[in-house]
């Protein structure tokens, strides 16, 4: 057939298919998969965006995004899906895990570690049971947390609940029920403005082995000193710095009953210097500290 023959117009040609955009094709496939999964009664297929590779953009994340990632990691740790790092530490023997947790400097971190799992909680309890000294100084520990930790420290000998702690009389009453209180040899309640005779009397009345007591900077009265005098007969030193509600009668009762008392700090008290002469007549070897004015009264100071 010659080129340009008019008969070639009679040959049928294949119709040209319209080109569908790629985005529309992907969308139609998702819709089809969604419908088929719904009819089958299974889980609906959802498109998951692939993870973004780590790079320079990760270093430019806002603090809120970084905080969200930290919260996700903590949640995974609580759910038992903390990754290889947690898997490694979970394989540690119980004694070694307890030793690692005992090295935590903050009792807030120790309390959080106890919430990871039952195994970690038992490890925290074991680490506390081996401690002979607890110090809550400057950690803003509350009544319930302090009482729970002290109860777990069954071999405790030295308890430091001083400045910064949010401890009240209720906290001291809860602590007084711990098994270790009767074996404590040293207690420091220095600077606790939220405690009174109510909590102090309850605590010291069970501290039969107490030898050193720091109760300075509090609002106790002679009632607390009488409780110390009746229960802590092995007391060797006591700090009453700035206890302005203590009188001479409380000091006399203390020195009379605590015959092993070697040192007493009475700085900042409202007791007149002449009153301490009577204390030396009861216990001549007693050392009285922080009263420069007593020098004129002939009282032994150091």
User: Which CATH number belongs to the domain containing residue 104 in this structure?
Assistant: 1.20.1280
In a domain, 238, yes or no: no
In a domain, 98, yes or no: yes
Report CA-CA distances (Å) from 116 to 12, 72, 110, 128, 278: 76, 14, 10, 17, 58
Q: Which residues pair with 214 in a beta bridge?
A: 188, 239
Cα–Cα distance, 246 to 249 (Å, whole number)? 8
Question: Distance (Å, rounded) from C-alpha 118 to C-alpha 124?
Answer: 10
| 116-125 per-position pLDDT tens digit | 777 777 777 7
Whether the predicted pLDDT of 295 surpasses 90: no
Q: Quote the distance between the C-alpha of residue 76 and its chain's center.
A: 21
Q: What percent of the chain has pLDDT over 70?
A: 58
CB 242 within 8 A of CB 271: no
The highest-confidence range among 15-24, 259-268, 285-294, by mean pLDDT, is 259-268
Q: Could you give the residue ranges of the DSSP H alpha helices within 242-295?
A: 248-257, 276-282
Phi-psi region of 229 (alpha: psi -120 to 50; beta: other; left: phi over 0): alpha
> Given this model, what pLDDT does residue 106 score?
61
Q: Distances from the Cα of 290 to the Cαs of 82, 124, 130, 141, 171, in angstroms?
A: 55, 41, 37, 30, 30
Between the CA of residue 124 and those of 96, 101, 158, what are the distances in Å? 11, 6, 19
In a domain, 113, yes or no: yes
Total count of residues recorded for the chain: 302
What span, in angstroms and rounded, lies between the C-alpha atoms of 229 and 208? 11
How many folded domains does the chain comprise?
A: 1
Mean pLDDT of the 48-60 span: 47
Q: SS3 string of 70-102?
A: HHHHHHHHHCCCCCHHHHHHHCCCHHHHHHHHH
Nearest-angstrom CA–CA distance, 212 and 267:
17
CA 161, 162, 166, 172 dihedral sign is: positive
pLDDT over 90, % of the chain: 41
Identify whether 108 is part of a domain: yes
Q: Is the pTM of this model over 0.75?
A: no
Which structural domain range is residue 93 located in?
A: 84-130
**CA dist., res. 165 & res. 189, Å (int):** 10
The pLDDT, as a whole number, for residue 247 is 95
Whole-angstrom Cα distance, residue 191 to residue 243?
10
Cα 247 from Cα 257, distance rounded (Å): 16
- Decide: 254 and 279 in contact? Cβ < 8 Å: no
pLDDT one-digit tens code per residue, 225-256: 999 999 999 999 999 999 999 999 999 999 99
Assess if residue 107 is contained within a domain.
yes
Higher pLDDT residue, 172 or 17?
Answer: 172
Q: What pLDDT score was predicted for residue 224?
A: 98
pLDDT digits (tens, 9 = 90+) for 75-116: 665 555 444 445 566 666 666 666 676 666 666 667 677 667
Picking from 178, 106, 110, 101, the residue whose alpha carbon sits closest to that of residue 137 is: 106
- Nearest Cα residue to 210 out of 242, 258, 171: 258
The alpha carbon torsion through 233, 236, 237, 238 (nearest 10 deg) reads 0
12 found inside a domain: no
The burial class, CB within 10 Å (0-12 / 13-18 / 19+), for 149 is buried
Decide if 68 is inside a domain: no
């Amino acid at each position: 057939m010659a080129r340009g023959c008019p008969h070639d117009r009679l040959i049928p040609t294949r119709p040209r298919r319209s080109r569908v955009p790629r985005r529309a094709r992907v969308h139609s496939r998702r819709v089809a998969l969604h419908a088929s999964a719904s009819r089958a009664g299974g889980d609906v297929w959802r498109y998951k965006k692939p993870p973004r590779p780590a790079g320079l953009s990760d270093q430019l994340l806002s603090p809120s995004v970084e905080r969200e990632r930290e919260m996700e990691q903590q949640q995974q740790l609580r759910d038992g899906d903390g990754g290889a790092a947690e898997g490694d530490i979970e394989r540690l023997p119980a004694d070694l895990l307890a030793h690692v947790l005992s090295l935590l400097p903050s009792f807030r971190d120790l309390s959080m570690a106890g919430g990871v799992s039952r195994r970690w909680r038992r490890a925290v309890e074991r680490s506390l049971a081996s401690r002979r000294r607890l110090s809550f100084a400057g950690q803003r520990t509350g009544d319930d947390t302090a009482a729970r930790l002290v109860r777990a420290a069954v071999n405790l000998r030295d308890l430091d609940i001083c400045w910064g702690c949010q401890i009240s009389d209720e906290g001291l009453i809860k602590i007084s029920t711990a098994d270790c209180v009767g074996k404590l040899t040293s207690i420091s309640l220095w600077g606790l403005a939220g405690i009174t005779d109510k909590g102090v009397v309850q605590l010291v009345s069970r501290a039969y082995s107490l030898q050193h007591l720091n109760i300075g900077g509090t609002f106790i009265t002679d009632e607390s000193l009488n409780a110390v005098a009746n229960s802590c007969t092995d007391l060797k030193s006591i700090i009453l710095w700035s206890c302005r509600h203590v009188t001479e009668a409380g000091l006399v009762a203390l020195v009379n009953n605590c015959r092993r008392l070697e040192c007493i700090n009475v700085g900042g008290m409202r007791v007149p210097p002449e009153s301490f002469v009577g204390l030396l007549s009861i216990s001549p070897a007693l050392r009285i500290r922080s009263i420069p004015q007593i020098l004129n009264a002939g009282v032994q100071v150091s």
